[in-house]
Amino acid sequence: MKLTTIHAVPLAYFLEVAQSGSLSAASANLHVAVSAISRQVARLEADLGVTLFERESRGMRLTEAGRVVQQYGRRAFLEAQTLQAELQGAGNLDHSTVRIACTDGFARDYMPYTMALFQRRHPGVDFVLEVCAPDHATQMVRDGAVDIALAFVVAPQDGIEVLYSEIAPIYAYVDRKHPLAALKRATLREVAAYPLVAPTPDNFVRRLFDLACGVEGLQPRILLTSNSLSALVGYQAYADVVYLTGSLAVRNNQRAERRVLVPIATSAMQQRALQLQAMAGRKLSPAVRAFAEFLIEDMGGRRRSVPVPKPRLAGR
């Protein structure tokens, strides 16, 4: 049987079971009887001639074939929405919604800035912004929960189309009167010699910094650790500390905050790539395409792409 003949209802029920992990959870979410959902999933399996789930005591687990159908189903429903938008609007962006995921650093200023600027040109576009960790942002794109994501990666991502990519070094962000501000480039030892604020150890910037310091035998003084980047930047307004960040996240605030970015001369601080991501194989709606192109132009990409850097530590 060809995938193009899959009926919408069995596919929709299958996707809900795959997302929620059980027939009972899918029933509660859809307000449909468990027996009806089970029959539709069984029908889909019979039509395709494959097993989509492993039935377990604690729920339903996708088989390899199930994961393939899940990806197809997500794209199919999303592209149906895109087709409807194109037919109704014929390229008009009015009454459109763009769903984005990004990390906390971009949510503080960069994404609000670009969204507001875009809406001045296209007032009919609304946004939904999800703030989360980079790997979760990427997963939301795969799941179709968002249209695009702005996230950091260190390795290629399955199921993702990279619309734009650039190397994203980590800088020391300091007050203009800080001793590091006079340097064109600082060593990791010079940065670690001053008090810092840093995100929690699960943050990728923190992991890179801790690993690099461990290799060089450094023990930096971290005055504040927080899972809120806004709290770290806010603390920096009252204490003369070093904050580790990428350039794009603070690009619009440097002058107002009277701070400068100082490059850190170690390869460990240059292992990240910043990517604008979309679901592989998905046709984006006119509004999403327009905003993605707007972001790419703003970041200076002109649709160029660079490879993800291979992880390595200084001195190796």
Burial class (CB in 10 A: 0-12, 13-18, 19+), 196: buried
Output the pTM of the full model.
0.73
Distance of alpha carbon 189 from alpha carbon 57, whole angstroms: 54
More confident residue, 14 or 243: 243
User: How many angstroms separate the first and last alpha carbons of the chain?
Assistant: 53
**pLDDT for residue 244 is more than 50:** yes
pLDDT digits (tens, 9 = 90+) for 99-109: 999 999 899 88
Q: Report the side by side order of strands in the sheet with 259-263.
A: 222-226, 196-199, 242-245, 171-175, 259-263
pLDDT digits (tens, 9 = 90+) for 195-243: 999 999 988 899 999 999 999 999 999 999 999 988 998 999 899 999 9
Query: How many CB atoms sit inside 10 A of residue 42's CB?
Result: 13
- Residue 70's pLDDT is what? 79
- Residue 81's pLDDT is what? 67
pLDDT classification of 316: cutoffs 50, 70, 90: very low
- Residue 315's pLDDT is what? 40
CA atoms within 13 A on the CB side of 257: 21
pLDDT classification of 164: cutoffs 50, 70, 90: very high
Mean pLDDT of 5-19: 79
Largest CA distance in the chain: 70
**pLDDT for residue 167 is more than 60:** yes
More confident residue, 292 or 303: 292
Task: From 225, 218, 275, select the one nearest 246 (Cα to Cα).
Answer: 275
Percent of the chain with pLDDT over 90: 43
- Residue 217's pLDDT is what? 95
**pLDDT for residue 60 is more than 80:** yes
**β-strand partners of 60:** 55
**pLDDT for residue 305 is more than 70:** no
